[in-house]
Structure 1
Amino acid sequence: MTADVEIDLGGLGFDRGAHLLVQRALAGLPPGGRVAVSGTDAALGVHLPAWCRSRGHRVEWPDPAHRSRLVAVVVRGTADDDRWFGAERAGPPLPAALHSRPPPRWGLGARGALLEAGGPEARFDLDDRDLVWADIAPTLYAQAAARQWDPQTAVPWDDTFALPADVEAAVVQVMTYLVENEQAALVVPARFIGRIHPHFREVVQLLAVQVADEARHMEVFSRRALLRGAELGTSSAGGRQSLFTLVAESDFALASFLLSVLGEGSFVDLLGFLVRHAPDPVTRRICWLAMQDERRHVVFGMAHLEHQATVDPLLRDRLRAAIHRRHDALADTAGLNADVFDALVVLAAGGWNPDDVAAGFAHVRALQQAMDQGRQRRLVRLGFRPDEAAALSALHTRNFM
C-alpha cells in the first residue's frame, strides 16, 4: 500500500470536516497520485469511499491483517479537474485591461474569478465599456469612499445663532428647493446601477456612492429647513417638471450629460454662492460639504463623456438634441420658482435697505452668469464650438438643475 502522501485524521470524521484534509492532500498530486489516509472515527470506512465516489477518486483497501489505523489509500482521479473543464476567467481582476464587451455568461461572477461552465446568463443592457467607462472611475471611487461624512458629526447643529424671521424663511425656501433637486439627483444614477454589467464594477461602485451622497444631502438640507420648527417652503410645478425630464431620460450618456455636466455643474455654483452668503454656520457647513461631493459627480460625468466622444462621432449630435428636446418640453413652464429666486436675493442682500436689495439682486444675476459660463466651458471641453456652446447653454432649464 505505497503512497505519495500520508495523512492522519485522528478522530476527525467527514461529518466534521475531514474531507478538507483529504482534499488538501490530493490537491498537490497529479491524477493517479496516492494518499494514505488513517484515522479513528468509527464511520470513516463508510464516509471516505462515499466522498471519493462523489469526487471521482478511487479507493484501495489494505489487507485487514495488516490494517492498524490505516483506513484506505485514495487514488486521485480526474473528476475534480473535469468539473472545471470549459471554465474561463471572468476577465482580469483589475480594471487595467477590461473587456470592451463582457459576455452575459459572466453575469454576476466576480471579475477575475474562475467561472464553472453553465449557470445563468445575466444580461445587462449597459454592457459596452464605451457606454459607461471613464479611466478616472477607480480613483474617484477610492476618493469618494474615503471622503464620506457623517451628517450627525460633520455639521455644527448645536451652534447658537438667531436669524430674523424673514431671513430664516428664505433659508427654509432654499433648503426646500435643494432637497427637491437632490432627490432627483439620487433617482437618476440609482436607475442605472442595476443596468450596468458588473464587469465595470468601479462605475457601479462610484454611482452607488453618488446615490449615498445625495441621500446625505437630502437629509442635511431637510434637517436645516426644519431646524427652527418651520414647515418646508413652496414647490413649483415648473421646477418639478424640469426635474422629471432628468428622471425620465433612459440613455445613460444623455442622463449623465443633463444631470452631471449641465445640472450639477450649475448646482456647484449655487452651493458656492450659498457658502458665501449663508447667514448661519449650519447652512454654510452643509452647503460646503455638499459642494465637495457634487464636484466629484461633475468630474465623473465629464470624464465619461470625454471618453465616449473619442469613440462615438455622433455623440455631440445626441447631446445637442437632448438639450433641444428638454428645452422644448419645458418651454411652457415658468422655470425657476420665483420664491427661490427671491430667497436667494434676500440671503445675498443681508439687509432690507434699497441698496442692500439691489446688491443682493446683482449677486443672484452674477450667479446666473457664472452658471452660464461654466456650462459653456464644459460644452467646449466636450468638443462644441464656443459660439454653439453659448447657444446651447442659453437653452438650459431656468430651474438651474
Structure 2
Amino acid sequence: MTSTETSSPATIDIEALGFDAGAHLLVKHALAALPVGTALCVTGCAPGWQAQLAGWCRAQGHALTWFPLSLGEGGGEGSAQAPHPTSPQRGEEEGRAALITRGNADAGRWRDAAHTGHADPHAPGAVQEQASPAWGLAARGARVEAGAPAFVFRFDRKQDIWADNAADLYAQAVAAQWDPDVALDWSVQLTHPPEVEAAIVQVMTYMVENENAALLVPARFLGQIHPHYRELQAALAIQVADEARHIDVFTRRIRHGGGEPALSTAGGQASLKSLLDEPDFSVAGFLLSVLGEGTFVNLLQFLAAHAPDPLTRQICKLAARDEARHVALGMSHLLHRLQAEPALRQRLAQAVEQRHDSLAGTSGLNEEVFDALILIAAGSLEPGAVHRGFERVQQLVRDMADGRFTRLLRLGFARDEAEHLAALHTRNFM
C-alpha cells in the first residue's frame, strides 16, 4: 500500500483508503519518520480524500500544499504549477497530489517526557525528587498532554515518603501471598482445655483490633501519595491487603472453636487511636511499623511456638512473616529520610515520649490479655505449668524491648536514648 520514493520528497500512496477508514494512520506514521520541516508527498484515489486530508493537517498543525500529480510523476522542474493552498473541489481530485510539511505541534501539546523520568525504577533519574501536579495520574515516563487537570497530592516529594527497597519488598510480598483456605487446615479438631481456648479467643480479639489499626494507618496515607512514587504505593497497598487477611483469619480462628470475640479495653483503644491521629507519615510509620509491628512480630512468634494447636501456630507463623516485611518497609523509609534529615530523629523521640505521657492514665495492655498469654504458654492451670507460662511471658516482654532497642540503634539513636525509648513503648505492645 505504501512506497518510498528514492527522490525527495518521500511519497506514500494511500490508494482507495479514506481518512474515515484509517488513512490518517499511514500519513501519521510516515510523517513521524521525518524531521520537522520535511515534506511528504501523498497520493490517493478515495472519494473526498483530499478534503479529509486538509482537515486532518489543520488539526495536527502540518502545512499542506497541492500540485499536479504530473510533477510528482517526473515532470521537469519548469513544469510545476503554483502550489494550491486550499483543498481542491471534488472534480479536481484526480490528478492532484498533496505535499505535507511536518509541523511541530507536539511541542506545545505534550509536556517534556524527560521530566517524568524512565519506566525502570533503577535507571538514573527515574524517580524525581519532586512530582509535578501536572503529571496527574499518568504512568511515570508518559508524555502528558498540555491542558490535563492538575492533581494535588499531599505527598509529592520523594524525601518525605520514599523507601529504597519498596519495589523489592512489594515483589517479595506478591510472591509470599497466602490463601487462608489453602495454607491453613481448618479441619483441625481442638483438644486443649476450654480455659486455654478462651485465652486464645481473648488474644485473637486483641490482635484483631490491633490489626485494624495496622490496616487503617497506611490506608489513610495511601491516597495522598503522588502516583509517581508507585513502588511505595504498591508496597503500602499490599501491606493493607496483608492486614485485611490477618483480620479475617484471626476472626475465623476465634469462631473455629465456637467462640465469639472477647474483651476490648478503653486503654487499648486509646493506644491505637493515638496511631490513627498522628498526621506525619514518617512519625506514624515509626510508631506503627518500627515499634508496634516490630513488637507484634515477637508476639506472633511467641504464639507460633506456644499455642496448643497446629492451626493457631500456623496462622501466627504466616502472619509474622508478613509483619516482618512491614517492619522492613518502615525501617527502609526512615533510614532514607534520616540520611538527608537527621533532625527527624529528635521528632521521633519526642513522639514516643508524648505518646507515652498521653497514655499514662490508661491501663495499657489489659490484664485479660496478659493473663491469656500466660495460660497459652502454660497449656493448663496446673501450678507448675502456670509458673512456666509466666516466665515465658516475662521473656517475651524482654525480647520485645530488645527488638525495639536494636531497631532504634539501627536508626542512629544513641544507646542510652534507644534503651530509654524502647522501655517507654510497652503499653499495649502496639
TM-score under structure 2 length normalisation:
0.86
The gaps in structure 1 that reach 5 residues or longer are: none
Counterpart pick for 1:339 among 350, 368, 386: 368
Q: Distance in 2 between matches of 1:17 and 1:158?
A: 61
Q: Which moved more, 1:98-107 or 1:206-215?
A: 98-107
1:147-169, Cα deviation, whole Å (9 max, x unpaired): 22222222222334444322222
1:8-36, Cα deviation, whole Å (9 max, x unpaired): 44554333333222211111123232132
Counterpart pick for 2:243 among 214, 225, 232: 214
Assess if the C-alpha contact under 8 Å between 1:137 and 1:203 holds in 2: yes
| Structure-1 residue corresponding to 2:79 | none
Counterpart pick for 2:308 among 276, 279, 289: 279
Aligned in 2, Cα 1:161/1:315: closer, same or farther, shift over 3 Å?
Answer: same
Q: How much has 1:84 moved relative to structure 2? A: 4.1
Q: Distance in 2 between matches of 1:90 and 1:159?
A: 57
Aligned in 2, Cα 1:58/1:317: closer, same or farther, shift over 3 Å?
Answer: closer
Q: What SS class does the counterpart of residue 148 from structure 1 fall into?
A: coil
1:333-357, Cα deviation, whole Å (9 max, x unpaired): 1111222112111111012210011
- The percent of aligned pairs where both chains have the same amino acid is 50
1:256-284, Cα deviation, whole Å (9 max, x unpaired): 11001110000000000010012222211
Q: How much has 1:170 moved relative to structure 2? A: 1.6
Q: Distance in 2 between matches of 1:333 and 1:300?
A: 30
Aligned in 2, Cα 1:128/1:81: closer, same or farther, shift over 3 Å?
Answer: closer
Q: What SS class does the counterpart of residue 75 from structure 1 fall into?
A: strand
Q: Distance in 2 between matches of 1:393 and 1:379?
A: 8
| Structure-1 residue corresponding to 2:44 | 38
Aligned in 2, Cα 1:9/1:161: closer, same or farther, shift over 3 Å?
Answer: farther
| Structure-1 residue corresponding to 2:77 | none
Matched AA of 1:217: H
Q: How much has 1:300 moved relative to structure 2? A: 1.4
Q: Distance in 1 between matches of 2:203 and 2:258?
A: 16
Matched AA of 2:30: A
Matched, 1:384 2:401: no
Larger radius of gyration: 2
Aligned in 2, Cα 1:363/1:83: closer, same or farther, shift over 3 Å?
Answer: same
| Structure-1 residue corresponding to 2:271 | 242
Matched, 1:153 2:185: no
1:304-350, Cα deviation, whole Å (9 max, x unpaired): 11222222232221011101110111111111122211211111101
Q: What SS class does the counterpart of residue 105 from structure 2 fall into?
A: helix
Assess if the C-alpha contact under 8 Å between 1:84 and 1:117 holds in 2: yes
Aligned length: 400
Assess if the C-alpha contact under 8 Å between 1:87 and 1:117 holds in 2: no
Q: How much has 1:60 moved relative to structure 2? A: 4.3
User: Aligned runs of 1:100-119 on 2, under 5 Å?
Assistant: 100-119=129-148
| Structure-2 residue corresponding to 1:121 | 150
Q: Which moved more, 1:172-181 or 1:4-13?
A: 4-13
Matched, 1:366 2:395: yes
The gaps in structure 2 that reach 5 residues or longer are: 74-91
Aligned in 2, Cα 1:86/1:353: closer, same or farther, shift over 3 Å?
Answer: closer
Assess if the C-alpha contact under 8 Å between 1:107 and 1:121 holds in 2: yes
Q: How much has 1:118 moved relative to structure 2? A: 4.0
Matched, 1:29 2:55: no
Matched, 1:323 2:349: no
Assess if the C-alpha contact under 8 Å between 1:52 and 1:58 holds in 2: yes
Q: How much has 1:56 moved relative to structure 2? A: 2.1
Q: Which moved more, 1:42-51 or 1:257-266?
A: 42-51
Aligned in 2, Cα 1:161/1:228: closer, same or farther, shift over 3 Å?
Answer: closer
Assess if the C-alpha contact under 8 Å between 1:260 and 1:301 holds in 2: yes
Assess if the C-alpha contact under 8 Å between 2:69 and 2:97 holds in 1: no
Kindly report the root-mean-square deviation, in angstroms, between the aligned alpha carbons of the 2 structures: 2.5
Q: Distance in 1 between matches of 2:96 and 2:298?
A: 77
